[in-house]
């Protein structure tokens, strides 16, 4: 069931935002689209696909297994709606904390910089994750689920929302400024997340949220506009300027390569 739901959400989000950015792009792309899409898709489905489908299913199964555990922090007689809300929000806070750590700890940054290696940002960037990052991120995620014991429906809902928003936030789509301003009060928008993908070090260490934007506001990491402005926004990593359009093997090997970093590492 989760596999089917995840597939429907993924394909629907892809269809919507790939078409949207084709006809109403936010900015011109600097790298060949075909090459980027091919290698991003190969990395996602040939390498990361088993992890991408197994882990979300495992998260829901684990939440079901601990739903009656006397050790679960949310199994304290709270009404279902409150357990659902707290579980959903805290798991999104965990995603924020994980993302921030990937930028703060050099060893984790070496893995995470695969995601930032893209010199552009569009729907395909949402597929660029090193398998090592997926293992670490989801392993911690499962541990917190076991500790919290959130309702399985909250975990399922967050997984599906994250799939859709992950593509939305990376998509190179043009949104009217007044709609963007309204959405970003609660959720991460493409302009907010594209700022995080800036080549400028000061921009990269902002806007870590996955679903909700208020975590960045609360913890002082929210940046409404990139330092250079949206019109002059450059993406990717300066130290990889000579490695644009990394192929699948290049992205898998990137964490282990000695490339002089100009930012986090």
More confident residue, 124 or 3: 124
- SS3 state at 212: strand
- SS3 state at 2: helix
Mean pLDDT of 63-76: 91
pLDDT at residue 185, as a whole number = 96
User: Which residues sit opposite 187 in a β-bridge?
Assistant: 212
Percent of the chain at pLDDT exceeding 70: 92
Whats the size of the chain, residue-wise? 265
pLDDT at residue 263, as a whole number = 52
Q: What is the pLDDT of residues 125-164, one digit of tens each?
A: 999 999 999 999 999 999 999 999 999 999 999 999 999 9
pLDDT-derived band at 231 (thresholds 50, 70, 90) equals: confident
Give the closest residue to 21 by CA, choosing from 9, 3, 37. Answer: 37
Question: Biggest alpha carbon distance in the chain?
Answer: 57
**Inter-helix orientation angle 106-116/80-104, to 10°:** 100
Domain chopping of the chain, boundaries: 2-23+40-256
pLDDT at residue 56, as a whole number = 72
pLDDT at residue 265, as a whole number = 45
More confident residue, 171 or 29: 171
- Supply the DSSP string of 10-74, one letter for each residue: HHHHHHHHHHHHHHSBSS--SS-HHHHHHHHHHIIIIISHHHHHHHHHHHHHHHHHTTT-TT-TT
Percent of the chain at pLDDT exceeding 90: 65
Mean pLDDT of 188-194: 97
pLDDT at residue 225, as a whole number = 93
**199, 179 Cβ separation under 8 angstroms:** no
More confident residue, 243 or 14: 14
CA separation for the pair 14, 20 (Å, rounded) = 10
pLDDT reading at 178 higher than 50? yes
CA atoms in the 13 A half-sphere facing the CB of 216 = 27
Give the closest residue to 51 by CA, choosing from 142, 153, 122. Answer: 142
Buried b (16+ CB within 10 A) or exposed e, 41-56: ebbbeebbeebbeebb
């Amino acid at each position: 069931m989760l596999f089917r739901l995840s597939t429907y959400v993924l394909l629907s989000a892809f269809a919507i935002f790939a078409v949207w950015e084709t006809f109403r792009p936010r900015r011109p792309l600097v790298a060949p689209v075909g090459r980027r899409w091919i290698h991003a898709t190969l990395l996602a489905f040939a390498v990361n696909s088993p992890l991408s489908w197994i882990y979300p299913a495992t998260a829901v199964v684990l939440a079901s297994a601990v739903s009656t555990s006397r050790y679960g922090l949310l199994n304290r007689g709270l009404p279902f709606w409150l357990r659902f809300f707290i579980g959903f929000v805290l798991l999104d806070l965990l995603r924020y904390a994980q993302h921030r750590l990937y930028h703060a700890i050099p060893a984790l940054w070496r893995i995470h910089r695969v995601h930032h290696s893209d010199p552009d940002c569009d729907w395909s960037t949402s597929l660029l994750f090193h398998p090592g990052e997926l293992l670490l991120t989801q392993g911690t995620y499962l541990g917190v689920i076991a500790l919290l014991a959130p309702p399985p429906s909250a975990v399922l809902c967050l997984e599906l929302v994250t799939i859709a928003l992950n593509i939305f936030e990376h998509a190179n789509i043009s949104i009217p400024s007044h709609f963007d301003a309204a959405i970003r009060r609660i959720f991460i928008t493409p302009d907010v997340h594209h700022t995080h993908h800036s080549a400028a070090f000061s921009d990269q260490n902002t806007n870590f949220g996955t679903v909700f934007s208020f975590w960045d506001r609360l913890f002082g990491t929210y940046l409404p506009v990139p330092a250079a402005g949206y019109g002059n926004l450059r993406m990717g990593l300066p130290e990889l300027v000579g490695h644009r359009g990394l192929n699948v093997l290049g992205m898998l090997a990137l964490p282990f390569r000695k490339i002089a970093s100009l930012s986090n590492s």
